[in-house]
Every structure is written in structure tokens, then in C-alpha cells.
Structure 1
């Protein structure tokens, strides 16, 4: 074995990391979440969202302890392997990879849908593939350039969501929001409960991938100081935006018209200001920044996960090669190939009657929830086995706060498996394929460079 020299260059500060943290997620405020209205109604989905927001807040306050103690490009893969060994690292790594590889096709299709509003003759799939080509290229050019771009588009996206809330506020009516708000009924009943649980994947979409900033930890300056600031300010930003956007959009008219489309915000604004308003056209164009911020940031995230797994011998070592810009270009391209294939499968595959976007969101959420569970278990294990590990940030309210995150994640996983059995089985198939590859490549891992952060030596 040799000590690894395949390392990433630290160039990112607190603002860059906040931009990555929020930017990875912010597309979830622009689309995807409204599918939850179809399952639970507006009031039911509000309950779902509050539960999921609680889970994420507790999770991020706990996850930050792991990220600062073990600042590794593999993120959850590194924490789980250090806590429980190689097989646990495999589970966390594959789950994270599924989360980050299947989210971009959904976002790319939303980019296509937003562009189609302005250019009806444009095929959304072609626009989605064009987005992949552009942003894979930008990620290959260098992480500093990529992160600066991410920060700029994230700030613009946040400002645009605030503008959206301000413009539609005069047309907001709580009676519109509450009408048929409990799975199609005006009053809560026991029949409303299944919809609340069925809507979980779409509430998670509001916050999905916030943990991806952990995969930029090796490229962060002073990660033990900058990452906590980025994470904590990031989760507060996202909770505020998620609740504000959802409530405002649901109160401007018949929310059922927005519940199964990829561009709910432009359509909600159209109900208030009309289709020819300059406000509406501004939302479409600037709204693209929110989608681009997440799309671009998640490409950065999945490439680092491919890179970390390949460097440790869990995937072909060629994926750990760095370009002359010191970026994992092959890993970036690998995720793009999978995403583009998913885009062109639209219409060819029918998963439980879902649109492609809803199916990709659900698959991504399965990966995320499994990763959240094993990350919280790793936190508890490392507190016991490595009490002397340097922890510049410690989870507040331990063990209650991480315990809440773990419990709610388990509830979410059970609910998702119940309501999305077909996609859950496909997720398991992906994990089994990864495990078979793992079993056949022990020598590859033995020959991989030693990484002290994975073993604690």
C-alpha cells in the first residue's frame, strides 16, 4: 500500500460553501415539491413539510460534526467506513451516488420545461441535454471557477424567490390555499393520513442534497471553521424559502392546476399578473438560475463521490483521474452519461404511473434517506469508538437531536417503501449490483492508496 497523493486543492471559503450548500438544494423550491400537493393536498403537504424540515434541521446540526471532524471528498462514505468498516462505507457511498446521479436528470427536465415556456418549439429533452454539456464543461474547468459561478447564481436564485413571494402576495388568499387542502377534502380525517406520508419524497425535495457540501470539504479552506457556518446559515435560508414559496404559490388560485407540472412558480405568477407581464417573463429567465444552481452544484457533488469511491478502490480507478485543471473529469462525464440516458428514457419507462421527473425525485430520495440513516448511526458509533477525535463542532443536544433525525429518517424510509414499492425495488437492485462488484474487486481496494481519514490511522 502507498499513501495517497491523489488530492484535491483547498480553495473554497465560507461564502463559496454557503453557495454550494444552498445552491445544491434551491431548485427544490422552484419545482418538484408541488407533486406533493397531488398526494396530500396543501394543508396535508404543509404538515409533511414541517416534519421533514424538522428532520433536516436536526440532521444538519448533527451531520456538521462529522463533516468538520472528517473533511473528506467522500462525505458519508468516509464517515461510515471509518465507523463501521468497508461494507458500511459501500452502503453509504452507493446510496449517496444514487441520490446525486438521479437528481440532475429531474432538474435538467425542469430546465427544459422552463425554457419551453419561452420557446414552445424547443424540445425540453434537447434543452436538458444541452444543460448537461454546458455544466459538465464548467465543472471540468476548475472548482474555484465552478464554485464562484455557483455562488452568483445562488444569490440570484434566492433574490428571485423573494421577488416571487412579493409579487404574488397581493393575490394570496388563505381560503384558496386551504380549499380541498386535506387530500381533496376540506377537513382533516383519518383518510388524510396516507397522503401525508405519500408526499414525503416531495417534501424532502425541498432540502435534498444540502449535505453535498460535505463532498467539497477537501477543497475548503479551514473546513473546521467554514463548514459549520455554511451549513447552519444554509439550512435556515432553505427552511424560510421552502415555506414561503409553497404557501404563497398555493394561495393565488386553484392549487390543483400546479400539482403535477414542472414549472409551478411561473404558472402561479401568471394567475396574479397575467401571461404577458414582465414580472412573469423575469421569473422564467431568472428562475432558471435556481435550477442551474442546483444542477451545477449536484454535478460537482456526484463527481466528488465517484472520485472518492474510485480512489478508495470501490469503483474503477480510472474515475479518480484528475484533469490538468485538477478536477475529476472522468467522474463528471460518467454521471452525465447516466443522466442523459435517463432523460431519453422519458416515455419509454412507466414507474407506478409517475412522470419521469417524479420517478427520478423518488429514486434520489431513496438514496438520500438511506445515507442519512447510516450517517447518524456513524455519528453515534464514532462518539463511542473515537472519543478523542478532534470535533471543532459538536452536535448540539446530543444524543436527542441526532436521535430525532435518525427516527424521522427511519419513518420516511418506511413510508417511501410502502408507497413506492417498485422504485424501492429498483433502488435495491442498484445496491445489489454495487455489492456484487464490491465482492469481486477486493484486490482493487487492497492496492488503492492508503487514506488515513477512512481508517483513523
Structure 2
């Protein structure tokens, strides 16, 4: 095994190191975890995905969504196995640390952290757009909204996980109700001809009314299809705060994915058929514009704000837990993992929030979306590799839940995830390039500094050391 060394500071070697870095256990059952998974993603149904119509048309977006839905379902089944076998707050980082060593573990954790730090910034810009369109409090400048949502929801999280998850679940129920109202109203406005109203590009190979930008448009639409499901993989981050995580985390993440399959298909087809692919591709408020000036549109507009808030709120939870886990193990500065009296990681909530707020000031929601997708896709590649490696290298590892299809299932997810990484450069090479630079900066920090200061008695490092010890005994 690649050596892990105890950090040099006295603080990490003291007996109370882990005592000051513990989360509240038993805060969530499978239903609350499923609510967490849906809330991570539900803002993607209300805004953001529709920009993919401009790159692939309805046909390209539909095919991309089917492929990405398959990838996420396969990935979720793989992560259900990993989360049951290795229940820790590190989620994907914990899995990769066991399978790929410290370098692979940190690379996965860094990619996830990039995804979760940037995604709320993108969502904040969408929230700002909704608030401005509703004329709430006379706000016409989005940055006040960005500041308010970051300050308010980080504050709620500081009160503790149990309280935060219950608030999140309530908001998510409201957001799901909004989608039901949209579906009932949108069905009456559906026109099959609206699906293919983007004219075919004569210069695109294989273009048609169904695929106006040809087969290439499918690939270009992939990052936007990911927005329908982005961050559902964050459910295992709640493992240390769940009741019976070996049972409840797999049940929660699979249940969340099944709900999201229904909502994504409903939104894609009905909203495009109601407004038309061409107009919808430029909309900042797609579901509302699809319903026109009806009373249902007004209701969905207000509830849509709840959907955006639900995702923002829950992804703040996710980035704090990923930061917490990496910090507790010494991959990031250990001060980031200290918890308060309510067992909430204070700096792990605040520091990424400050960075995200700074990014939100760009107001470039579509660009930030692509940056978040890049981080997500890289982490998916590494997590699926981790599942395959552990199946091959540690067939006897205790697995309370096993992925149907085994490595064939996660192998499919791996292939699509690799395609998704490349697709982010097709949509916005500058945004993807900057995100890649941030990822490389994380790896440089690890290589030059933190890999020499890992905390051997942290849970994630102990998982890896126990595995190595068992291997040596064999």
C-alpha cells in the first residue's frame, strides 16, 4: 500500500482529534436519504437542461438523456454496493481511496468537491433569475439574491444535520408537487410538431427535423442531459449520519434515482411539446414559459423557486461533507473538519460557500453548469473504475448489497462517463479548461504538500489500512 503518515501537528495525534470531528449519527432513514437524493437534482428539472436543445435539438437531447439516464442508473447501482460496503462521509472519495490508493482517492474527492462547490453557484444564478422575474421585494440585481441564499442556507446547516435534512425534505415535496401541477397543465398544451421546430442544419452530417444538428448534436447535448441527474450520487455522503447505513443508503439512492427517471422524462417531453424546442432552448424559466400566462404557470413559477432552493440547500450539505471527509483525513487543511456543538462542520460549510458566492457573481449559469458537469463526469469515471477494481481485487469484501450485473453494469457507466468528460469541452472548451486547471491545482497541492500529512487514524485511511493488512495476512 502507498504509505499513509500521521500528520505532523500535535493536534492530529491527540486523543480528541476525531472527537472534535464527528457528525451526528442516526439522523436519517432511507426515506429521508431518498429525499436528499431528489433534492440534490430537482432544480435540474426546472432550469438549465433546456439549453441542450440549442446544441442537439429535441432528438439529440432525448437520445442524450436516455444514454445519461442509463449511465446514472448503472452508476447508482454500483454506488449502492460501495456505500453499503464502505459507509463513510467521504462517499466517492472513500470508495476510490480503498480501490486506487491516496492519489486516486484524492483525485476523486477533488473532482466531487469541484462539482459541489460550483453547482450551487450555477443554481444561485437561476434562483436570481426566478426572483427577478417574479418581482419579489423589487429586486432587480441578482447578487443580493446570491448573497442571501448562501448566508441563509449555510446558517441553517450550521444548526445541525437532522434539522437541515428535514427542512430540505419539506422543500423537496413542494418542488415535486410543482412538477405534478406542470405535468397536468402541460399535457393540455402539448403539440407534437413543437418537438421538431428547430430547422435542420444543412451543414451538419445526418441532420433532420428530429436531429437538426446531426449525430454530433447528441454528443453536444450530453452535459445538459446530466443536469437532470447531477449530484444524486451524493447520497452516500450522508452515510455517517444515517441509521443502518448498510441498508438505508442503497435503498435511498436507488429510490431517488427512480423518481428522477420519471421527472426528467416528463419535463423534457411535455415542456418541449408545449412551447417548442426553439423557444425553450433560450429560456431562463422553461417550465413557466411552456405554460404561458395561465394560473398554473404562476403557481409553477413560485414553486420552481422552491425546486431551485431545494437543490441549492442540499448541495451545500454535500460539499460540506466532502470537504469534511477530505480534511479529517488530512488531504485538505484539518481545520476545515472541526465540528461545532451541533456536530456541523463549520469551516467546511463556510469556505466553499464563499468560493461559490464569488463564482455566482459572474452570473453565467450555463458556463457554471458546464464546469460542474466536468467535475462530476471525472468523478464518475474514477468511481466506476473503483467499483470494477474492488470487484476484481477484493472479491471477498463484505458487500451487504451487490450490484445487479456486476462490473458489466458499472463498465457501461464508465464508458458513458468518459464520453461525458469529452463532451464538456465540445460545449464550452474555455469553461472546461478552467475547471481542468482547478483540478490540476488540487492534485499539485496533494503531491507537494498534503500527501505527507495524512491522518492515519481517520476512518477512510483505516478502511484502506485494514484492507492492506488483510491482504498481507492472506
User: Under a length normalisation based on structure 2, what TM-score does the superposition of the two structures give?
Assistant: 0.89
Q: Partners of 1:394 and 1:211 in 2: how far apart?
A: 17
Deviation at 1:186, TM superposition (A): 4.9
User: Which of 350, 362, 384 pairs up with 1:376?
Assistant: 384
1:262 to 280, 284, 293: 284
**CA shift for structure 1 position 93:** 0.7
- Matched-pair contact (CA < 8 Å) for 1:38–1:183: no
Deviations 1:124-158 (A, max 9, x none): 22112211111111111110001111111111111
Aligned to 1:445: 453
Check the 8 A contact 1:40/1:183 in 2, yes or no. Answer: no
Structure 2 partner of 1:223: 245
Report if the CA contact (8 A) 1:40-1:182 is conserved.
no
CA gap of 1:282–1:403, structure 2 versus 1, over 3 A, is same
Residues 55-88 of structure 1 deviation map (CA, whole Å, 9 limit, x = unaligned) = 1111111111111111111111111111111110
- The 5-angstrom pairing of residues 288-327 of structure 1 reads 288-327=305-344
Measure the CA separation in 1 of the matches of 2:464 and 2:179. 40
Q: Give runs of aligned pairs for residues 181-200 of structure 1, distance below 5 A.
A: 186-188=208-210, 191-200=213-222
Matches within 5 A, 1:4-19: 4-5=18-19, 6-10=21-25, 11-19=27-35
Contact 1:82–1:456, Cα closer than 8 Å, also in 2: no
Match of 1:352 in 2: none
Unaligned runs of 5+ in 1: 347-355
1:281 aligns with 2:298: yes
1:62 aligns with 2:70: no
TM-aligned CA distance change 1:181 to 1:94, over 3 Å: farther
* Secondary structure at the counterpart of residue 252 of structure 1: helix
Give how far 1:48 is off: 0.9
**CA deviation after TM superposition for structure 1 residue 450, in Å:** 3.5
* CA–CA separation in structure 2 for the residues paired with 1:399 and 1:343: 39
Structure-2 separation of matches of 1:151 and 1:189: 38
The verdict on how the C-alpha distance between 1:151 and 1:83 changes in structure 2, with shifts beyond 3 A counting, is same
- Cα deviation, residue 421, structure 1: 2.4
Decide which of 258, 261, 264 is 1:236's aligned counterpart. Answer: 258
Residues 1:456 and 2:474 aligned together: no
1:94 matched to 2:140: no
After superposition, the Cα gap between the structure-2 partners of 1:197 and 1:448, relative to the gap in structure 1 and judged at 3 Å, is: same
Partner SS for 1:296? helix
Deviations 1:267-309 (A, max 9, x none): 1112xxx2xx432221121221111111000000000011111
Question: Does residue 417 of structure 1 match 2:425?
Answer: yes
- Asked if the contact 1:179/1:186 (under 8 Å) is kept, the reply is no
Contact 2:323 2:348 in 1 (8 A): yes
Secondary structure of 1:34's aligned partner: helix
Indicate the residue corresponding to 2:10 in structure 1.
Answer: none
Post-superposition Cα deviations, 1:83-141, rounded to whole Å, max 9, x if no partner, equal 11111011101100001000001111111111112117412221122111111111111
Q: Using the alignment, how far apart are the partners of 1:168 and 1:251 within structure 2?
A: 8
Where does residue 233 of structure 2 map in the other structure? 211
Tell whether 2:407 aligns with 1:389: no
The aligned length equals: 443
Matching residue of 1:155 = 173
Correspondence for 1:51:
67
1:111 aligns with 2:119: no
* CA deviation after TM superposition for structure 1 residue 411, in Å: 1.7
Residue in 2 that maps onto 1:341: 358
Residue of structure 1 equivalent to 2:44: 28
In 1, the alpha carbon distance for the partners of 2:228 and 2:201 equals 20
Runs of 4+ off more than 6 Å: none
Instruction: Provide the rounded CA distance (Å) in 2 between the counterparts of 1:366 and 1:446.
Output: 27
Give per-residue Cα distances to partners, 1:13-55, cap 9 Å, x unaligned.
1111011011001100000000001111112211111111111
CA distance in 1, matches of 2:284, 2:346: 30
Cα distance in 2 for partners of 1:30, 1:195 equals 22
SS at match of 1:456: helix
Instruction: Kindly indicate whether the alpha-carbon contact (under 8 Å) linking 1:81 and 1:455 is maintained by their aligned counterparts in 2.
Output: no
Is residue 91 of structure 2 the alignment partner of residue 83 of structure 1?
Answer: no
Give the superposed CA RMSD. 1.9
Post-superposition CA distance 1:328-378 (Å, at most 9, x none): 1111111110111112233xxxxxxxxx11111111111111111111111
